[in-house]
Structure 1
């Protein structure tokens, strides 16, 4: 009984990701699976535009769900239980909300910053960004800048004195 249950679970989760077929479907010249989460998410670069997008394979043929549209020069995977991730355009970084957390996920912070760092303060994620060689806080949900006390490094920033636009900083 136990061995049969193990075999059933193994056979349901061991389905091979159809990488060559996905590359053809998306006309991609590069495709990278998110091996950290094993949730079927993958990013790919479209051959003609050279732009990256993020999709989730639904484990049924070639069915996928778009997580981030194919329009960025680069992008990071959405972290496990993460509310957002970094996207990049023309050497600048922005933020894209997680569609697993937000029903209408969008680019909430435009790609206009030189660097970024996510700072966990009492388990709440805050976004520090570098702009014109100075670090400031940005509300990762609304894109509002808080530049009242810029710093030379993200570690030197005073603790943020704002709550995100939804009234909380984490879902």
Structure 2
């Protein structure tokens, strides 16, 4: 008896396991089967999209480059318009006789009849005419110092010195 009971218990356990397996198989059959994520249609769609991207890349690059060129041309045209306006304003100023007189006085040093014109040469001392420069130009005996000293004397003194040197260097007349 004991062996029958054991065999019945084992049979019941086996039947329970079979039932359990059938239930899970039935549930799995009701669920849709898992497919591969990349189907033939998806692969074709991806291929078409890649082809479109490749086909449109060059024309898009050309389009962007042309838009950039157009923007550059517009900027240059705007600059040219501004230059034309400046030149028109300048032309209008030159049409005014008073402006012409002012420019002639300023740039060409013209004076009106009855006026005295004065020109001041080098009104402000520059770095080249400072006292330290002509001292370092040379000693008085080597000629370099004489030229620097002559640059700081009045013009008439240099003129008379030139006449004296020319007279002394001239050969005697016969």
State if a TM-score over 0.5 links the two structures.
no
Of Structure 1 and Structure 2, which has the larger fraction of its residues in helix?
2
Of Structure 1 and Structure 2, which has the larger fraction of its residues in strand?
1
Which one has a bigger Cα radius of gyration? 2
TM-score by length of 1: 0.23
TM-score by length of 2: 0.22
